[in-house]
Structure 1
């Protein structure tokens, strides 16, 4: 029974991540198809000719359509149309706030110059002596820094995600001196949060040479305390040969 249980757990570990991944991808494809397919003309829908449903066709049409829109927006005519649409949206009281906020978020996240959430750190929260994982958004000159700490320790915008759902959390501004920067990547930090601390990234101690260079990994020659030492021969003064 113990061997059967081990076989079952091994198969579960192999099948569960694969099944969950397939389910998420399949749900995403179905969600995009449900949004895009109603706008596809009936004569361009392959389901009308084949007689059965082809999953993913709406996703392909969406990717091609977004790429064409980006290509058209890159020229003068496309920029003029986009500018006209933005001016039209800016006159709507409720819509303009939502549109500007979403546009700024997407431009910041998808920009190649963005340095958001590239560093994992730790802050003392919710009390002294208790540490929480945070994602550091970066150090920027903002009104918050000017009002709260104009000449002292700069403030860092950090995002503290919740476990096990890292998409929700708290935005906090913490002094730079109180943030402990970690060497782990954002992916490793996300795994640590989602798994509630069960999946921790591998850690290698850094060794600093006499020249000040940092070496990742372990020392090639172990210290004397880590290996067995040969027994020393006890020689007394009487056992020494006479000269």
Structure 2
């Protein structure tokens, strides 16, 4: 009976990644279907709907190209307008910084990953370095399995150990709850 339950649990765990991927695909499909219905509502012609989608794709791609080169005045004007609205300016600025940090657009400061001794001595967690102020690190400590949830801390540089993991590797480590750990050799560098 114990082996049967064990095999059942292993089978359930084997299906979890598949179910997650299926849920993501269904979510994206539902979003695209809703968008298609919204656009199709303006014109009952599939050709016109396709043209609207193609034009939208072209405009978004063009804006992305211009923004990546730093030459798009409409976005700059929008940002200038948003900066004048107290609550929206804070939300916009923080959101933009987070997106830039995760996407790697903050080229003047490389993104780093460090280990932080938390919640007690001898236990180490990976953290994203979000800012440095002299000898102080501002860290975001993500929680498994969702790397977007967690908490921010400020610690002295002597309290962290630098990691060779990239942002993508540590994110994979967090999402997989430690199962995907590419830098196993780093474990020996951590104090016990």
TM-score, scaled to structure 2: 0.64
CA contact (8 A) 1:32 1:59 kept: no
Superposed CA offset, 1:55-113 (max 9, x none):
xx99876543311334566797x51x444434433443433333333334334443161
Matched, 1:69 2:63: yes
Aligned residue for 1:98? Answer: 91
Structure 1 residue 11: deviation in Å?
10
How far off its partner does 1:173 sit? 1.8
| Structure 2: distance between partners of 1:199 and 1:84 | 43
1:158 aligns with 2:139: yes
Would you tell me which structure has more helix in proportion to its own residues? 2
The number of aligned residues is 182
- The alignment yields a C-alpha RMSD, in angstroms, of 4.4
Distance in 2 between the 1:36 and 1:89 partners? 30
CA distance in 1, matches of 2:77, 2:172: 43
Normalised by the length of structure 1, the TM-score is: 0.53
1:209 match:
none
Query: Is structure 2 residue 3 aligned with structure 1 residue 24?
Result: no
Which structure has the larger Rg over C-alpha atoms? 1
1:1-243 correspondence to structure 2 within 5 Å: 13=14, 16-35=16-35, 37-39=37-39, 42-43=42-43, 46=46, 63-70=57-64, 79=73, 81-110=74-103, 111=105, 113=107, 115=109, 117-119=111-113, 121-137=114-130, 140=132, 142=133, 145=134, 154-201=135-182, 203-204=184-185
CA change 1:23–1:60 in 2 (3 A) is farther
Structure 2 residues not aligned, in runs of 5+: 187-192
CA distance in 1, matches of 2:37, 2:91: 26
- Of structures 1 and 2, the one scoring higher in RCO (CA 8 A, sep 6+) is 2
Instruction: Give the whole-Å Cα distance in 2 for the aligned partners of 1:180 and 1:16.
Output: 33
CA deviation after TM superposition for structure 1 residue 9, in Å: 5.4
